């Protein structure tokens, strides 16, 4: 009779995660829209995998802050503003789009102390 308790516990955890993400996401969107590089950097995990053209990694928060417009291109800012992230079974949220013959995905994972963190950008064949 333990199985139903585990299922309910799992569902409650998913609801909490979804609720936390629903609070966090508009703040992240706003920071990106305002080009508030420091706020975005505070919401990221470094080093940050960042596959976009020749770029493969953003090593530090200072690097992201200093080159924010280089990393967060108009296209990426538009995706953050217009897309609704999907929740994967592992609790990570993702935005995916296609451009220039590739598929791009932004990942957001639960943070260790609550909230969520930008966890990277991947680029690959669709």
Q: Kindly report, residue by residue over 65-115, the tens digit of the pLDDT.
A: 999 999 999 999 999 999 999 999 999 999 999 999 999 999 999 998 888
Tokens representing 77 are 């800012």
pLDDT band at 15 (very low <50, low <70, confident <90, very high): low
* Residue 66: DSSP 8-state: H
% of the chain beyond a pLDDT of 70: 87
**What is the C-alpha to C-alpha distance for residues 24 and 61, in angstroms, rounded to an integer?**
19
Strand order in the sheet with 48-52: 55-58, 48-52, 116-124, 102-110, 93-99, 86-87
**What is the C-alpha to C-alpha distance for residues 32 and 90, in angstroms, rounded to an integer?**
25
> DSSP assignment of 22-57, as one string?
HHHHHHHHHHHHTT-HHHHHHTB-SSEEEEETTEEE
| pLDDT score of 44 | 95
Q: Which whole number is the average pLDDT over 31-48? A: 96
| pLDDT score of 17 | 80
């Amino acid at each position: 009779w333990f199985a139903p308790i585990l299922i309910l516990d799992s569902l409650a955890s998913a609801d909490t995660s979804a609720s936390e993400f629903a609070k966090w996401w508009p703040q992240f969107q706003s920071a990106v829209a305002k080009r508030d590089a420091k706020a975005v950097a505070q919401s990221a995990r470094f080093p940050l995998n960042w596959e976009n053209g020749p770029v493969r990694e953003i090593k530090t928060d200072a690097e992201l802050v200093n080159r924010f417009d280089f990393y967060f291109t108009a296209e990426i800012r538009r995706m953050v503003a217009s897309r609704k992230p999907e929740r994967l079974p592992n609790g990570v949220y993702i935005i995916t789009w296609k451009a220039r013959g590739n598929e791009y995905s932004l990942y957001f994972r639960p943070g260790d102390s609550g909230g969520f963190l930008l966890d990277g950008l991947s680029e690959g064949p669709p």
